Amino acid sequence: MVEQNRLYWEAIAPGRLGESIEFLRSGGSALTDDELALIGDPTGLRVLQLACSVGDESLTLARNGAQVTAVDLAEGHLRTGRQKAAALGVKINFLRQDMMALAPELAGFDRVLISGGGLCWVPDLDRWAVDVAGRLTPGGRIVISEHHPLWEVLTVNGENSLLVSADYFGQGRDGYTDPMKAPQVTWGSTAELPEHRSFVWGIGAVVTALVAAGLMIESLREWAAPDMYPGLGTVADRIPSAYLLSAARP
C-alpha cells in the first residue's frame, strides 16, 4: 500500500511545486501565525517534518533558524524541496523515508510537525503515535495542523447543503470519494493516476492515540476556513475545516 501511495505521489510531483521562491525569499511564510505560535521560537529548534512534500513549511522554519530534517515518501517532491532550499540558501536535511519506518537515528527532536494532508497517509495511527513520541526529546512537542476529518467526509452539494461522502469512522479509503479532497493539482485532470489508499482519522482517534503513546495534549483548536467548502455559502463558517493540536512528551 505504501508503495502504491508513493507511485501516486510521484505521478503528481511534477505539477506540485508549492510556494514560489519569490514568495519565500521576500519573507512569505508557509506557516500561519497560529502554527508558528504553537511551534514557538524556531531559533535552534531541532525539527522533524513528516510527509513534508516540497518542504515549504520546513523552508519557513529553517529560514527562521531551526535545524530541520524533512522526510517524504516521494523523491519527486524532495527534489523540488532541495532545489528551493538551494535557491534560498538554507540548509535542510531532506530524506526519502516512509514515516511508518523512519531510520532509528532520526530522534531527539524538539518538534515534530505534520500538516496540511500528511496525517491521512498514516495507515496505523496508534503505532505511528508511539513511534513519533519516541523521537521527541523530553519536553518536546508534536504539532499537528491538519484538515478536519469532518471536512474530509462532507461534500458541498450546493448553497447550505452538504452530502456525507465518506465514513468518519471507516478510516481507510481507496482513492477520494470526493475529488475535491484530493490534491489540488489533480482537480479537473483526466490523467490516469496510480491507485492509492489514505485514511480519515477522527479527532477522537488522534487524541486517543497520542495520549496512549504517553503524550500530553496541550491544546486542540478547530476552526472554520470557508474557502475549503466552496459553494456552501455563508454557513461554511459554522463547521470546522481544520484543526491544530499540540501534544508534549513529559
Ligand X SMILES: C[S@@+](CC[C@H](N)C(=O)[O-])C[C@H]1O[C@@H](n2cnc3c(N)ncnc32)[C@H](O)[C@@H]1O
> Which residues in this chain contact ligand X in the complex, by CB under 6 A?
2, 5, 9, 18, 51, 53-54, 57, 71-74, 77, 98-100, 115-118, 121, 183
Minimum distance from residue 12 beta carbon to ligand X (Å): 9
Nearer to ligand X, 53 or 60 (CB): 53
Instruction: Look up residue 14 and give its three cell numbers.
Output: 511534477
Minimum distance from residue 160 beta carbon to ligand X (Å): 29
Minimum distance from residue 81 beta carbon to ligand X (Å): 9
Nearer to ligand X, 131 or 159 (CB): 131
Minimum distance from residue 124 beta carbon to ligand X (Å): 10
SS3 of residue 24 by DSSP = helix
Distance, C-alpha 36 to centroid of its chain: 15
Minimum distance from residue 26 beta carbon to ligand X (Å): 19
Nearer to ligand X, 56 or 110 (CB): 56
Long-range CB pairs of 78-85 (<8 Å, 24+ gap) are 78/52, 79/13, 80/13, 80/16, 80/17, 80/18, 80/54, 80/55, 81/52, 81/53, 81/54, 81/55, 84/18, 84/21, 84/24, 84/54, 84/55, 84/56, 84/59, 85/55, 85/59
Nearer to ligand X, 7 or 235 (CB): 7
Nearer to ligand X, 76 or 240 (CB): 76
**What sign does the CA torsion over 181, 166, 206, 148 have?**
positive
